[in-house]
Amino acid sequence: MAKYLAEHERKMQLTKEEFKNRLKRKLNDYYEEDIDTASTSELFAAISAIVRDGYAPQWRRTRIAETKQKEKQVYYFSIEFLPGTLLKSNLLNLGWLKTVREALSDLGLDLDKIAEYEPDMALGNGGLGRLAAAFMDSLASTGYTGNGNGIRYKYGLFKQKFVNGYQRELPNDWLKKEGHWEVRRESKSVLVRFGGKVNMVEDNGWLIPQYEGERVVRAVPYDVAVVGYQDGLTNTLRLWDAEIPPEEELNYPTISDRRRVEDLTSILYPDDSNYEGRLLRLKQEYFFVSAGLQSILDYYITKLGNKNFAQLSDYVAVHINDTHPAMAIAELMRLLVDEHRVDWDTAWNITQKVMSYTNHTIMAEAMEKWDVNMMSELLPRIMQIITEIDRRYCEGLKGRVSDAVIDRTRIIKNGQVQMAHLAIIGSHSVNGVAALHTQLLETEVLKDFYNLYPERFNNKTNGITLRRWLQIANPELSDLLDQTIGKEWRSDSNKMLNFEKYYHDTKVLNQLHEIKLDNKKKLAKFVKEQTGIEIDPTAIFDVQVKRMHAYKRQTLKLLHILKLYQDLKARIDHPKRVIIFGAKAAPSYVFAKQIIKVINETANMINNDPDIHGKLKVVFLENYNVSLAEKIIPAADISEQISTTTKEASGTSNMKLMANGALTVATMDGANIEIKDAVGEENIFTFGLNKDQVYKYYAEKSYHPRKMYEEDPVMKKAVDALIDGTVPNCSSEGQALVNNFLSDNEQFLVLADFEAYLKAQEKVEQTWAQKRIWQQMSLVNIAHSERFDSDKTIERYAQDIWHLKKLKIEKVDR
Ligand code: 475
């Protein structure tokens, strides 16, 4: 095998000429076309085939090393993975990006144009899904065997369109163009059961379940290679599709029976924090959890040749990404106790050692709860097992803590299964995603659990794939880093700190300015093509990109826009600014959709008002996704991170924007605090209520925004613009926003932060006038973004939670 691989790899060395030859050959073999006659889709297919050939040996090598070295592996269970497009990141990680770009350019072709053909693999909503994809990349790049386990949704996150300023959702049929990166692994299929009745019968002194009338679905895995950077591993992201088992065809006689099976993996629930879809969502959760765990145990038994489950945690870590896969705890118990006849206590011990859990939000509505009746009907055996876990939990604590604590922390309460409680009780580790968030979990949201099990709690601040956000999205900045600090930063992000040495280097500061300007010109061109709006690349590009949500407070930005507009109308001058939004609202989230409508109408009004001489522009780009982020982020001057303090668990766009040299306007929320710690107070614009002030408002019920509004004429004028006819065509939506702002129950305290936000923005304007200082601040931000490299985050998970060792694998000669 080693010989085969060595030979294969020698062939894999890629020069420009070799690439051109391969491209010609592939086009010929597949389509009987030449380079000059091939279409973009054909070019894309041919290049992706060359890339697949490129990573195949390392994929194989990784698998062989895994079974030989038997190092512990982590399985990252997540209902969302959001890798975006893969062509350029696979090329980059193979070390081929430059060669291929230049070879194509020799042929008169543009890699970026061809790459645009690839649809985003948007199997996620936002932060949580993108983080899962980042972790996949980092595990492979840092040399740990990490496997993703998720769902192969037929339709990814909806495509967003604006019609008359309203959000419309279109299906995102990303697979219509064939899946270029996946391999169907028929032989690894497993069966998953739903519904029916369970009767426990005795067998050799063991109570085992007998199922009656259940529906059997076949889970078929599609494996996607996760190519580690340069000498990294090539790991596997396993996504499950639902099919009718051939032997069960007779049980699915009608079209609607069949459709029900297809529906299982048909759509990604488009809810971020706000959560709705019920029964189908529960089915999806169990489906990928059961399939994933079955394949893990199969591997453990057959490949590792191990039947002693007591050692499972020496070989396997299962990570539960938010509560959606929390049923893994009950399902592993079922598999161990029912299928492999491990006694309950041993099985429980194993399960707790194997499982770990990350919480991504403190928003109460995102805390999953399932109706006991629904769960009993759909998953009768799982419900029995959860009931038993709950019973033993309560029994174990009885007399040791107060009944009130038991009652607050138990899994089943008021006819509902509390998934977060199941996740915490069944895991050895519970982590938040930024220091403040973890602290709030410990002291507020999960306080009882923290008192019971302090040793389980730990923080793992999020990270981003710097490779994608710098080397792919911002090649010019990457080149500048190469020229100044050398190329090592590309594989060792610590080296980025050396960029600070250029703090006083006028040439470098000017280059930074030029690069930003160039990226802004590119974005301006794109904006013109997409929206027809002309924007001036020399203006401040002020960016807020993230899901649309009340707590993220795009509304605060809106009020700032209205204030600037009113000033300009009154001939009070401000530096030129372009405000850029990208945001999808969950389809069922009425308020978020109203905000979109109002922002769009405000933009329309401002962009067409000749009185303000183009000094202010507002651009709301449609369909924000990873690909669009790659265009916007490198062009940003300002990064808006203005959530209500305590509400944003971490944020990750804050990290991407900082890495690209944007300066952050930030509340002291989530990871913003750590950004401030990294760059220093003087290199960030902070403002707003702190966590104690926020909690004080809640505790004392002392938030009276109408009073603030009545007493602050500037605020009043900005708010009134939404209802006094200033902003046209959205009176009902404008009214809804105003009602919300002025209500004592407004949770996100928008008006409370208004004045402080304006002050922070004034500081932004003053700093903008001092070009050199701005560039220096930008430079410091770039240098310190190394702290948020997801490779570092993953090292901490690997050490502290999963206890992994790196796989030893020979260097690949490419
Ligand atoms: C946080 N998604 C960010 C990011 O840790 C954080 C919830 C329910 C159903 C489906 N999706 C969700 C989230 O809760 C989510 O994306 N949370 C985000 O996770 C990564 O940086 O602050 O809001």
pLDDT, tens digit (0-9, with 9 covering 90-100), for 629-650: 999 999 999 999 999 999 999 9
Question: Are 416 and 501 part of one and the same domain?
Answer: no
Question: Are 411 and 529 part of one and the same domain?
Answer: no
Give me the catalytic one of 547, 593, 617, 784.
Answer: 547
Residue predicted with more confidence, 672 or 269 = 672
Q: Residues 734-745: pLDDT tens digits?
A: 999 999 999 999
Which amino acid would we find at residue 366? A
Q: Is the CB of 651 under 6 A from ligand 1?
A: yes
User: Would you say 102 and 235 are in contact if contact means Cβ atoms under 8 Å apart?
Assistant: no
Separation of CA 428 and ligand 1 centre (Å) = 22
Mean pLDDT of 300-315: 89
Let me know if residue 698 belongs to a domain: yes
Question: Are 352 and 336 part of one and the same domain?
Answer: yes
Give the whole-angstrom CA distance, residue 658 versus residue 641. 11
Question: Are 567 and 645 part of one and the same domain?
Answer: yes
Mean pLDDT of 96-103: 97
Let me know if residue 362 belongs to a domain: yes
Question: Are 384 and 342 part of one and the same domain?
Answer: yes
- ipTM of the prediction: 0.97
Q: Residues 195-212: pLDDT tens digits?
A: 999 999 998 888 999 999
Mean pLDDT of 345-362: 97
Let me know if residue 714 belongs to a domain: yes
Instruction: Write down the pLDDT at residue 364.
Output: 81
Question: Are 132 and 176 part of one and the same domain?
Answer: yes
Question: Are 251 and 192 part of one and the same domain?
Answer: yes
The position carrying tokens 């006083």 is 504
Let me know if residue 28 belongs to a domain: no
Ligand 1 atom nearest the C-alpha of 433 is 5
Q: Is the CB of 132 under 6 A from ligand 1?
A: no
Question: Are 436 and 496 part of one and the same domain?
Answer: no
Let me know if residue 559 belongs to a domain: yes
Q: Which two tokens stand for residue 98?
A: 């430059």
Q: Is the CB of 790 under 6 A from ligand 1?
A: no
Mean pLDDT of 296-323: 92
Question: Are 439 and 480 part of one and the same domain?
Answer: no
Pocket residue to mutate for ligand 1, from 76, 81, 360, most atoms within 8 A of Cβ = 360
Q: Is the CB of 634 under 6 A from ligand 1?
A: no
3-state helix, strand, coil in the chain (%, to 5): 55, 15, 30
Q: Give the confidence band of 273 by pLDDT, cuts at 50, 70, 90.
A: low
Q: Helix, strand or coil for residue 89?
A: helix
Q: Is the CB of 461 under 6 A from ligand 1?
A: no
Let me know if residue 282 belongs to a domain: yes
| Domain total of the chain | 2
Q: Which two tokens stand for residue 330?
A: 């009950």
Phi then psi dihedrals of residue 166, to 5 deg: -95, 150
At how many degrees (to 10) do helices 16-31 and 97-106 cross?
Answer: 70
CATH number for 563: 3.40.50.2000
Q: Give the confidence band of 274 by pLDDT, cuts at 50, 70, 90.
A: low
Q: Is 0.95 topped by the overall pTM? A: yes
Full residue range of the structural domain in which residue 726 is found: 470-788
Q: Give the confidence band of 276 by pLDDT, cuts at 50, 70, 90.
A: low
Question: Are 703 and 677 part of one and the same domain?
Answer: yes
Let me know if residue 48 belongs to a domain: no
Give the whole-angstrom CA distance, residue 785 versus residue 494. 9
Question: Are 434 and 506 part of one and the same domain?
Answer: no
Mean pLDDT of 613-628: 98
Residue 360 is a catalytic residue: yes
Let me know if residue 16 belongs to a domain: no
- Report how far Cα 674 is from the mean position of its chain's Cα atoms: 19
Instruction: Tell me: pLDDT of 810 over 90.
Output: no
Mean per-residue pLDDT over the chain, rounded: 95
Question: Are 454 and 482 part of one and the same domain?
Answer: no
Separation of CA 622 and ligand 1 centre (Å) = 21
Instruction: Write down the pLDDT at residue 657.
Output: 98
